[in-house]
């Protein structure tokens, strides 16, 4: 099998590729932050009665909250800020499909490239 000789990349091409990668990294990490996709999906279940008992805290817990500088009013938004685990099937299916599709593509494309590598490496000798 003939050896594959890659083209030499020009300086400008190298700089351009670095720029592509940097932009991709920023888009991937920064865009979800901006679009509000990042972070936890939590919401506050407001309570009318703001006492330690209503917040489900026993005297030991209440004493610790107070030691940490909280009152039932200030602790309310922390204690009642909760996750609501509802399994949203369409999103779950999309997520599973995206993940599986990604891994399948990864392994198949890698295997194609890998065969070239092995052929060239072991047939030369």
Given 43, 46, 74, 107, the residue binding another protein (CB under 8 A): 107
The CA distance from 95 to 111, in Å, is 24
Closest to 74 in 3D by CA, of 64, 85, 83, 66: 66
Q: Which is nearer to another protein, 48 or 122 (CB)?
A: 122
Q: Could you tell me if 86 and 103 are in contact, meaning their C-beta atoms sit under 8 angstroms apart? A: no
Q: Strand 81-83 relative to strand 42-44: parallel, antiparallel, unpaired?
A: antiparallel
| DSSP state for residue 7 in the 8-state scheme | P
Pick between residue 48 and residue 61 the one whose CB is nearest to another protein.
61
Task: Identify the residue among 53, 66, 74, 106 touching another protein (CB under 8 A).
Answer: 106
72 binding another protein? (CB under 8 A):
no
Match 């399994």 to its residue by tokens: 87
Please pick, from the candidates 46, 66, 74, 105, the single residue that binds another protein as defined by CB under 8 A. 105
Q: Under the criterion CB under 8 A, does residue 104 sit at the interface with another protein?
A: no
Measured distance CA(3)–CA(118) in Å, rounded:
12
Which residue's structure tokens are 């592509």?
20
Q: Does 94 interact with another protein (rule: CB under 8 A)? A: yes
Min dist. Cβ of residue 57 to another protein (A): 7
Residues 12-51 that bind another protein (CB under 8 A): 14-15, 17-18, 20-22, 24-33, 37-42
């Amino acid at each position: 099998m003939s050896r594959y000789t890659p083209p030499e990349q020009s300086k400008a091409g190298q700089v351009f590729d670095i720029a592509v990668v940097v932009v991709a990294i920023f888009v991937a990490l920064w865009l979800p932050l901006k679009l509000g996709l990042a972070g936890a999906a939590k919401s506050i279940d407001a309570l009318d009665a703001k006492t330690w008992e209503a917040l489900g805290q026993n005297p030991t817990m209440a004493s610790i909250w107070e030691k940490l500088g909280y009152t039932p009013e200030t602790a309310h938004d922390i204690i009642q800020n909760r996750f609501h685990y509802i399994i949203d099937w369409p999103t779950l299916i999309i997520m599973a499909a995206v993940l599986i599709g990604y891994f399948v593509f990864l392994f198949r494309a890698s295997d194609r490239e890998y065969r070239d590598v092995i052929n060239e490496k072991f047939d030369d000798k």
